[in-house]
């Protein structure tokens, strides 16, 4: 028996710890791809054969169409690199356990990064931390480091609470095999708990944290419980503070144990030093600091890196990764294992297409907005072979955006950063030439070229050359549906993906393209981000019912509405031409009708939000008004100039961009406190206004206002507005940076606020001061532009005031009706009582008379 056991162990040591299998159907796919390529080439050939003659109408349209089809064709070829050689990988955790006992497993350093306690609430951060501390792995081999780039005492306090709660949470998870091991997610499942009191303890700790965040400070009695709180004083700000390193749990200390006497993982808080005016290189700088600090404390050979909102969904995911690193034959070639990104709050049909986005997460190289991709490329170019692993059970899960504007802003940020890589020295075709295969270079460019793909999308309308056009369209569509269904999506989910792809290309990617080109040309950027974090119950219900959320007058929504109305107009015009013309015209316009019809179907939620919805997620009337004005101008111009309508969408976007400025309006619901960030250039004048639209409660109306505090980049106070239902101000930004607008609601009711902020700057003051001939012209243009912005600003202010007054009138009318009904009821009751009393009185008198 012993000999047989030894043979089994020896055989196990020879078996690989993972295997790689090539996906089936590769030959069929390659044949399909070859036929699509032939179709694309035939479309190009058709365009070249049908070049308009000199003086013939449609030359501009031909240039746009041919350029779009060339770009789409080339991009399609690039995308095939990700499908040409598809493989699946399968780790063998049982073999790992047989080969490596717990004391022989390598140490693992876990890096979690956060940057702002307002945008990334501390309770969210510690949910991720606790899920990682409870891994099914020897605790003395785990060391968790939290990098807080916000330098917040509140985040440190949350981690301090988590260090105490972990003494109960970790043994509880391991005893009852809890999944998932994020407390917030686990308790939200309303599972029949073995220890109901445990949920109450979590609720109490969560309440303490939320109270501290609401008050903006940590209670004094808690500060006395740990020396680390002494690192914060009145001089410490987010952008100016020394390094702070605090070991909350020392895993090397044998006395650091949970309530059952088991060792605990090491837990470290880190906030790196920051000084104003000194570049800190964002997440890459944070990661490099973590590497330096961890090398002095635990110095583990394996690093797990993830964001603060991505909790662990599988207790054995680290063991899966180790199967790749510790494999005797291939492990020495693997630099990192990449897991895909998934979300736990996507709707059934994934309304915003929050599908998994696979990137190369390893943020170390400086000089670009998405350092993770650059670092992954440099590692691969040095001969390493990274592994992508997509397990059947999601290893990590996060929270997906539930509003359209945030979803588009997210993709704008990604696409802009990736397009910048394409123009840098790290362009895969240049940096990777001769170092990695052409297919790998093309694979990187699938994402790096998101931004420029917006251009052909804005002007593309196909023509009828039946066989190649129809085949390419139908075949790629069918393949896309099959591929999506095989990945577990629904047919409606696939349709939502097509809609979101169109919206991203016409907004997020397009703005990313503009911003990147402006940066390459050395011009100042005009884009900025205002992000709301409050999610009220009504918004959550609309998201769960898969209703797209608009609700603001963002320029993004103006573009979406304009293009949607243009497609609707072009469809109507095309139907009119077909109905009242001969067969020759029908043959010419049938392809355009099909394309316009599909675009109209894709935009059905936009039409619904523009014309039919009455909830808070509808398109504001100002968006509809602007879209109608732009469409009217374009249609009139097209008729007068004899343009083809294929040019209209592209011209529309250019016209809208001409009116693009640093203005943003948002309507939101506030419970207690809500903050917004707004990036402003030096010397710009910032105009802001707010109006309390309504207060919740059908029987309640109040004139209670809100407080607004405006702070500069260094945290200094600029405005302090108290107890106002509406107000507007302006100030000049003395330095470039992020300005914060924090609202506080002191009433017991939820308030709906309309907030508008707009930054402007007269360029002629410095850029054209020396040009005596053009200075007056630029001055007048600048004044006109400022006047237009001010009109728009005042219009938004008046619209909000009108909405408030309408609600006030409605509530007053309702109150008057209720009062009248109440008084009528009282009068009727009093009359009835009087009749009853008189009747009783007469009955008694009548009885007395009879006696």
113 backbone dihedrals φ, ψ, rounded to 5°: -115, 135
Per mean pLDDT, which of 419-433, 733-747, 752-766 is the most reliable?
419-433
Residue 4: per-residue pLDDT: 59
Chain mean position to CA 556? 15
Task: Find the catalytic residue in 148, 314, 350, 372.
Answer: 372
DSSP for residue 106: P
Residues 372, 365: Cα–Cα separation, whole Å: 7
Task: Tell me the per-residue pLDDT of 650-665, one tens digit each, with 9 for 90 and over.
Answer: 444 444 444 444 445 6
> Percentage of the chain with pLDDT > 90?
21
Taking 80 as the threshold, does the pLDDT of residue 29 lie above it? yes
Domain boundary pick from 384, 403, 422: 403
Residue 243, SS3 per DSSP = coil
Lowest mean pLDDT among 28-32, 69-73, 112-116, 673-677: 673-677
Burial class of residue 295, CB neighbours in 10 A (0-12, 13-18, 19+): exposed
Largest CA distance in the chain: 125
User: If you average pLDDT over residues 637-649, what whole number do you get?
Assistant: 53
Strands (E), 25-183: 87-91, 108-114, 142-148
Decide: 231 and 244 in contact? Cβ < 8 Å: yes
Report the predicted TM-score, pTM, of the whole model to 2 decimal places. 0.69
User: If you average pLDDT over residues 467-475, what whole number do you get?
Assistant: 73
Residue 578: per-residue pLDDT: 72
Residues 220, 230: Cα–Cα separation, whole Å: 11
* CATH number reported for the structural domain that contains residue 781 in this entry: 2.60.120.380
Positive or negative: CA dihedral 802, 804, 807, 810:
negative
Taking 90 as the threshold, does the pLDDT of residue 627 lie above it? no
DSSP for residue 647: G
Half-sphere exposure in the Cβ direction for 305 (13 Å, CA): 20
Residue 790: per-residue pLDDT: 57
Provide the H-helix boundaries in 423-465.
Answer: 428-431, 438-448, 454-459
DSSP for residue 241: B
Report yes or no on 745 lying in a domain.
yes
**Binding-site annotation, residues for Mn(2+):** 283, 307
Residue 759: beta bridge partners? Answer: 662, 686
Decide: 417 and 360 in contact? Cβ < 8 Å: no
Task: Find the catalytic residue in 109, 148, 149, 314.
Answer: 149
Report yes or no on 431 lying in a domain.
no
Range of the domain at 370: 114-403
Per mean pLDDT, which of 546-550, 586-590, 771-775, 830-834 is the most reliable?
546-550
Kindly list the distances between the CA atom of residue 105 and the CA atoms of 133, 170, 303, in Å, as whole numbers in the listed order: 16, 20, 14
Domain boundary pick from 403, 420, 452: 403
Strands (E), 365-523: 387-388, 396-398
Report yes or no on 475 lying in a domain.
no
Find, among 342, 350, 354, the residue nearest to 395 by Cα: 342
The answer to whether the bond into 180 is cis (omega within 30° of 0) is yes
Residue 381: per-residue pLDDT: 92
Taking 80 as the threshold, does the pLDDT of residue 346 lie above it? yes
Taking 50 as the threshold, does the pLDDT of residue 389 lie above it? yes
Find, among 264, 246, 219, the residue nearest to 148 by Cα: 246
Burial class of residue 551, CB neighbours in 10 A (0-12, 13-18, 19+): buried
Residue 60: per-residue pLDDT: 76
Q: Are strands 244-249 and 266-271 parallel, antiparallel or unpaired?
A: antiparallel
Residues 267, 534: Cα–Cα separation, whole Å: 30
Decide: 626 and 558 in contact? Cβ < 8 Å: yes
pLDDT band at 588 (very low <50, low <70, confident <90, very high): low
Burial class of residue 213, CB neighbours in 10 A (0-12, 13-18, 19+): buried
Task: Tell me the per-residue pLDDT of 694-740, one tens digit each, with 9 for 90 and over.
Answer: 665 444 445 568 899 999 888 888 999 988 888 888 888 888 888 88
Task: Tell me the per-residue pLDDT of 507-524, one tens digit each, with 9 for 90 and over.
Answer: 888 888 887 887 777 664
Helix and strand element counts for the chain (H, E): 27, 20
Report yes or no on 632 lying in a domain.
no
Residues 6 or more apart from 170 whose CB is under 8 A from it?
133, 134, 139, 258, 262, 264
Residue 352, SS3 per DSSP = coil
> Percentage of the chain with pLDDT > 70?
75
Report yes or no on 314 lying in a domain.
yes
- Clarify whether 149 is annotated catalytic: yes
Residue 537, SS3 per DSSP = helix
Find, among 656, 585, 590, the residue nearest to 627 by Cα: 656
Taking 90 as the threshold, does the pLDDT of residue 109 lie above it? yes
Number of domains in the chain: 2
Give me 743's structure tokens: 């609202």
User: If you average pLDDT over residues 822-851, what whole number do you get?
Assistant: 63
Residue 411: per-residue pLDDT: 85
Query: For all residues of the chain together, what is the average pLDDT?
Result: 79
Phi/psi region, residue 228 (left: phi>0; alpha: psi -120 to 50; beta: rest), is alpha
* CATH number reported for the structural domain that contains residue 203 in this entry: 3.90.550
Report yes or no on 193 lying in a domain.
yes
Report yes or no on 228 lying in a domain.
yes
Task: Tell me the per-residue pLDDT of 195-214, one tens digit each, with 9 for 90 and over.
Answer: 667 778 888 899 999 888 88
Per mean pLDDT, which of 130-144, 220-234, 270-284 is the most reliable?
130-144
Residue 136: per-residue pLDDT: 93
User: If you average pLDDT over residues 634-641, what whole number do you get?
Assistant: 66
Give me 455's structure tokens: 């251009």
Q: In terms of pLDDT, which residue wins out, 463 or 394?
A: 394
Kindly list the distances between the CA atom of residue 20 and the CA atoms of 386, 391, 393, 394, in Å, as whole numbers in the listed order: 13, 13, 18, 19
Decide: 571 and 593 in contact? Cβ < 8 Å: yes
Task: Tell me the per-residue pLDDT of 281-292, one tens digit each, with 9 for 90 and over.
Answer: 777 788 889 999
Taking 60 as the threshold, does the pLDDT of residue 530 lie above it? no
Decide: 738 and 710 in contact? Cβ < 8 Å: no
Find, among 344, 444, 364, the residue nearest to 127 by Cα: 344
Decide: 653 and 509 in contact? Cβ < 8 Å: no
Residues 13, 59: Cα–Cα separation, whole Å: 70
**Binding-site annotation, residues for UDP-alpha-D-glucose:** 120, 149
pLDDT band at 265 (very low <50, low <70, confident <90, very high): very high
DSSP for residue 23: P
Residues 87, 93: Cα–Cα separation, whole Å: 19
Taking 90 as the threshold, does the pLDDT of residue 143 lie above it? yes
Residues 690, 708: Cα–Cα separation, whole Å: 9
Decide: 354 and 404 in contact? Cβ < 8 Å: no
User: If you average pLDDT over residues 80-87, what whole number do you get?
Assistant: 86
Residues 133, 558: Cα–Cα separation, whole Å: 46
Report yes or no on 268 lying in a domain.
yes
DSSP for residue 611: I
Decide: 396 and 344 in contact? Cβ < 8 Å: no
- Return the number of other C-beta atoms located less than 10 Å from residue 197's C-beta: 8
**Binding-site annotation, residues:** 120, 149, 283, 307
DSSP for residue 449: T
Residues 303, 299: Cα–Cα separation, whole Å: 10
- Clarify whether 714 is annotated catalytic: no
Residues 449, 414: Cα–Cα separation, whole Å: 11
Domain boundary pick from 806, 822, 846: 806
User: If you average pLDDT over residues 75-102, what whole number do you get?
Assistant: 89
């Amino acid at each position: 028996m012993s000999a047989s056991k030894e043979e089994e162990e020896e055989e196990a040591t020879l078996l690989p710890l993972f295997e790689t299998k090539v996906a089936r159907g590769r030959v069929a796919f390659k044949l399909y791809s070859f036929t699509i390529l032939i179709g694309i080439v035939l479309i190009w050939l058709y365009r070249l054969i049908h070049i308009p003659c000199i003086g013939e109408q449609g030359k501009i349209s031909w240039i746009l169409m041919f350029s779009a089809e060339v770009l789409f064709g080339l991009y399609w070829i690039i995308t095939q690199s990700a499908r040409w050689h598809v493989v699946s990988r399968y780790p063998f955790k049982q073999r790992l356990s047989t080969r490596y006992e717990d004391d022989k497993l390598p140490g693992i350093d876990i890096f979690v990064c956060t940057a702002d306690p307002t945008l990334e609430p501390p309770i969210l951060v510690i949910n991720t931390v606790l899920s990682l501390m409870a891994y099914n792995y020897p605790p003395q081999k785990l060391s968790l480091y939290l990098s807080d780039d916000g330098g917040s005492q509140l985040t440190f306090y949350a981690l301090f609470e988590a260090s105490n709660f972990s003494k109960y949470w970790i043994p509880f998870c391991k005893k009852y095999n809890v999944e998932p091991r994020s407390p917030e997610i686990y308790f939200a499942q309303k599972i029949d708990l073995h220890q109901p009191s445990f949920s109450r303890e979590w609720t109490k700790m969560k309440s303490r944290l939320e109270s501290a965040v609401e008050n903006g400070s940590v209670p004094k009695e808690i500060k006395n419980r740990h020396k680390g709180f002494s690192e914060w004083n009145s001089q410490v700000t987010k952008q100016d503070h020394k390094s702070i390193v605090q070991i909350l749990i020392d895993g090397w200390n044998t006395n650091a144990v949970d309530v059952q006497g088991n060792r605990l993982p090491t837990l470290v808080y880190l906030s790196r030093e920051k000084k104003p005016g000194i570049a800190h290189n964002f997440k890459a700088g944070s990661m490099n600091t973590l590497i330096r600090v961890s090398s002095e404390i635990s110095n583990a050979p394996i690093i797990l890196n993830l964001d603060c909102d991505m909790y662990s969904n599988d207790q054995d995911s680290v063991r899966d990764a180790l199967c790749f690193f510790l494999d005797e034959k291939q492990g020495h070639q693997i630099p990192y294992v990449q897991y895909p990104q998934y979300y736990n709050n996507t709707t059934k049909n994934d309304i915003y297409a929050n599908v998994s986005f696979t990137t190369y997460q390893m943020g170390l190289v400086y000089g670009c907005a998405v350092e993770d991709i650059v670092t992954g490329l440099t590692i691969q170019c040095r001969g390493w072979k990274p592994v992508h692993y997509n397990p059947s059970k999601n290893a990590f899960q996060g929270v997906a955006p539930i509003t359209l504007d945030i979803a588009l802003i997210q993709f704008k940020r990604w696409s802009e950063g990736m397009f910048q890589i394409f123009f840098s020295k790290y362009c895969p075709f240049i940096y990777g030439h001769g170092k990695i295969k052409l297919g790998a270079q093309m694979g990187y460019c699938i994402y790096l070229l998101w931004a420029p793909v917006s251009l052909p999308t804005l002007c593309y309308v196909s023509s009828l050359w039946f066989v190649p056009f129809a085949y390419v369209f139908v075949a790629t569509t069918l393949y896309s549906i099959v591929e999506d269904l095989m990945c577990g999506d629904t047919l409606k989910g696939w349709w939502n993906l097509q809609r979101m792809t169109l919206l991203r290309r016409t907004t997020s990617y397009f703005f990313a393209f503009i911003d990147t080109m402006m940066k390459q040309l050395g011009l100042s950027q005009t884009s900025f981000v205002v992000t709301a974090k409050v999610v009220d119950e009504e918004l959550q219900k609309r998201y769960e019912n898969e209703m797209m959320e608009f609700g603001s007058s963002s320029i993004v929504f103006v573009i979406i509405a304009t293009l949607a109305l243009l497609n609707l107009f072009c469809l109507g015009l095309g139907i009119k031409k077909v109905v009242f013309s001969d067969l020759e015209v029908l043959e010419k316009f049938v392809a355009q009708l099909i394309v316009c019809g599909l675009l109209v179907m894709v935009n059905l939620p936009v039409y619904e939000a523009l014309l039919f919805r009455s909830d808070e997620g509808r398109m504001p009337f100002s968006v509809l008004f602007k879209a109608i004005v732009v469409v009217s101008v374009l249609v009139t111009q097209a008729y007068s100039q004899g343009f083809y309508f294929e040019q209209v969408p592209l011209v529309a976007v250019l016209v809208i961009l001409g009116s693009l400025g640093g203005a943003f309006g948002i309507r939101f619901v506030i419970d207690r406190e809500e903050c917004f960030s707004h990036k402003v250039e030096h010397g710009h004048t910032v105009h802001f206004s707010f109006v309390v639209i309504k207060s919740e409660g059908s029987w309640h109306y109040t004139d209670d206002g809100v407080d607004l505090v405006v702070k500069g980049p260094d945290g200094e106070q600029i405005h302090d507005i108290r107890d106002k239902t509406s107000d507007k101000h302006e100030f000049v930004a003395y330095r470039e940076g992020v300005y914060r607008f924090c609202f506080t609601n002191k009433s017991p009711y939820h308030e709906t606020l309309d907030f508008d902020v707009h930054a402007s700057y007269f360029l002629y003051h410095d850029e054209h001061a020396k040009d005596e001939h053009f200075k007056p012209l630029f001055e007048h243009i600048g004044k006109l532009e400022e006047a237009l912005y001010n009109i728009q600003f005042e219009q938004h202010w008046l619209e909000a005031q009108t909405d408030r007054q309408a609600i006030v009138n409605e509530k007053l009318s309702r109150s008057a009706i209720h009062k009248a009904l109440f008084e009528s009821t009282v009068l009727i009751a009093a009359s009835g009582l009087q009749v009853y009393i008189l009747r009783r009185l007469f009955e008694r008198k009548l009885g007395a008379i009879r006696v």
